[in-house]
Homo-oligomer: A and B are copies of this chain.
Amino acid sequence: MSPTLAERQKIRQDEIITAARRCFRASGFHAASMSQIASEAKLSVGQIYRYFSNKDAIIEEMIRRIIDSRIEEMQGKTLVEGMPEALASRMTLNEDDDALMLEMSAEATRNPQVATMLIEAEARMFANACTHLKKQFPHLSDEHIRCCVEITAVMIEGTIYRRLTPLKVPSEQLRPIYQDILNMLFTAK
């Protein structure tokens, strides 16, 4: 059976996002153009515009997918368990996603529309993490859960940011310290 129109549209949209990701990685969001993205996707500029009204719309869909995959990844985990090791060895889910989020953040400092997208994406991520943690730690107050999510997010994002430079401490030394910090966060209050 040949794919339906909706399926064909979905495939085409995926191809455009994949091409856009490559262009953004190569030249940055600001420098990449719709015609570059079209050429990378082997489509005409006109075809691209049938799916996305402008570059910001592509960005928005790309961010949405990155956040979706991060939320999905989080759901399957008891957040605190693997975290000390993940922080200590600066593990990442997806290096390309990290680089694209860094690019989006840099762009957000000069483009209010991208800034709005980032704020919405982070709010969705934050709310999901709170719900997820509340299930694991039902005795903690909502206020304290929000503090835990904020500080854990600071540590995860700081770690991702620092992945660009070499780790100067053996991860075995860092792991127990991160463990202590997380134990402290997720007890009491």
B109 touches A99 (CB 8 A): yes
Looking at chain A's contact residues, the main secondary structure is: helix
Chain A residues packing against B (C-beta within 8 Å): 25-31, 87, 99, 102-103, 105-110, 115, 118-119, 122-123, 126, 143, 146-147, 150-151, 153-159, 161-162, 164-169, 173-174, 177-178, 180-181, 184-185
Extra pairs beyond A154-B154, A157-B162 (11, CB < 8 Å)? A28-B110, A30-B30, A102-B109, A103-B106, A109-B164, A126-B168, A146-B168, A147-B174, A150-B162, A154-B159, A177-B185
A66 to chain B, nearest CB (A): 15
What are the residues of chain B within 8 A of A164 when measuring CB–CB?
A: 105, 108-109, 115, 118-119
In the assembly, what is the distance between CA of A158 and CA of B158, in Å?
4
